[in-house]
């Protein structure tokens, strides 16, 4: 069962913007905590941005001031707005949900769900 689906990747010129989306399946009521990761061939997957259950956000130093993570519980979606993109941002970007609710009366549950990844390529 596919629980998370990313979209919004593509090819953009340096300095451009993209917005990635991570949509949860209808079986998930809300994504309460999540992160965006990226990976290039031959390197470990790295955390780019995270949002907690209370809405607090954290960013890798390399993207601070350029990327913004947010969520829309009504749409069961987490976003990553990426501005001022650089060639070194080129990677496959993955969404990870680590806390969800299965219905509105449920407690927040710890999970480890990944999307399939979306390619972001920034040309110089």
Share of the chain above pLDDT 90, in %: 98
Q: What is residue 53's predicted lDDT score, i.e. its pLDDT?
A: 94
Angle at 46 between CA 41 and CA 37, to 5 degrees: 95
What average pLDDT does the segment 101-112 reach?
Answer: 94
Q: Residue 1: is its pLDDT beyond 90?
A: no
Mean pLDDT of all residues in the chain?
Answer: 96
Nearest to 117 by CA among 53, 40, 49, 59: 40
């Amino acid at each position: 069962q596919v629980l998370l689906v990313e979209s919004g990747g593509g090819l953009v010129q340096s300095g451009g913007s993209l917005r990635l989306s991570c949509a949860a399946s209808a079986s998930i009521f809300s994504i309460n905590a999540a992160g965006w990761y990226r990976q290039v061939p031959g390197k470990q997957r790295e955390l780019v941005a995270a949002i907690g259950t209370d809405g607090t956000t954290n960013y890798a130093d390399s993207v601070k001031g350029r990327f913004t993570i947010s969520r829309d519980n009504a749409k069961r979606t987490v976003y990553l707005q990426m501005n001022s993109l650089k060639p070194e941002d080129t990677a496959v970007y993955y969404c990870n949900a680590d806390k969800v609710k299965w219905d509105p009366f449920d407690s927040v549950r710890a999970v480890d769900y990944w999307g399939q990844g979306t390619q972001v390529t920034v040309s110089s």
